Structure 1
Amino acid sequence: MRKNIYYLFEYKNDIRNLIIDYKLNGRKEIGVFISRIIEEDLKKIIRENKIDIVVPVPASREKVLERGFNQVEFILDEIGIDYKKAVREKDTLPMHRLSEKNLRKINIKSVFRCDFLAENKNILIIDDIITTGTTVEEMIKALENTGKPKNIFIFSISATPTFYKKYL
């Protein structure tokens, strides 16, 4: 099984501010803007890698209630990409409030569940920001609990140097 990672922007400056404004202020018009920026690249990744299942990282129930929507699902809906939902079984502390990777691991451990079979499928996990990779690692574990995927791909709008220096 191979794991391929794609991201479009480094998580800093204008991109960081844009994503924070979108997520924290629930500004759907920014989601529409982001969807137009990433649409072509995302569809190409799905097509070229013969993706069977797209899975957005689920936001916490608290954040979805606050904002009124899941920010990644909103973007996928705007682009017209079908996806299967993973379940976030408990709310956690916001990851951006935890600076140490070991605290992030404890915070997110065994949080996700997938109610669909991933066995022998090409899976694409989608998130808006990847900081340390801890959330993605837990999503992979949840997928693997349903059967061994053929390949797992990760797509993020943005990633931090902490993440891409480790994984790329």
Structure 2
Amino acid sequence: MAKLTVELVNGDDPSELRHEFFGQHHIAAPRADELARLLPLLRDAVATVADAGSIEPVNVLLETFPPTMIVSSHDETGTPHLHFARDGEDAVSWLGRSCAAALAHVICGDPHVTVGRCQADGCERFYVDDSRNRSRRFCSNTCASRTTVAAYRARRKSQDAGA
């Protein structure tokens, strides 16, 4: 759910993940105008999780969209697991409740999920670090490459100036 939350905050086009979540939970995809009240709250909460900031934005999200705990076994294995919103709810409420619960777990130290902010100059995107050693620093290979090239060029320029 953290990946879906970051995808929404980054303004990414709907992905296979989003379609899968909506399909499994009988949620109609929300329109942009419907998401307008949720996105600022989500962005503040994701930023505080990524930056290890105040817990207040996550609490505001939880208060605005209080999760409803339900045990479900809808997946192919039939294994019971927790949901934090009811299937078939309106999309904004379902997203708000589910994302609020996911971010609350992350900010409280879920060892399986790390949310970060891209370290590339000028990039405001977030990412979920699911690497084995949790060492990811960039939202994409594009940002990583751009940063590496810029550092290389800066080193070359300083070497050329010193020669």
TM-score (ref. length: structure 2): 0.28
Larger relative contact order, structure 1 or 2 (CA cutoff 8 Å, min sep 6): 1
TM-score (ref. length: structure 1): 0.28
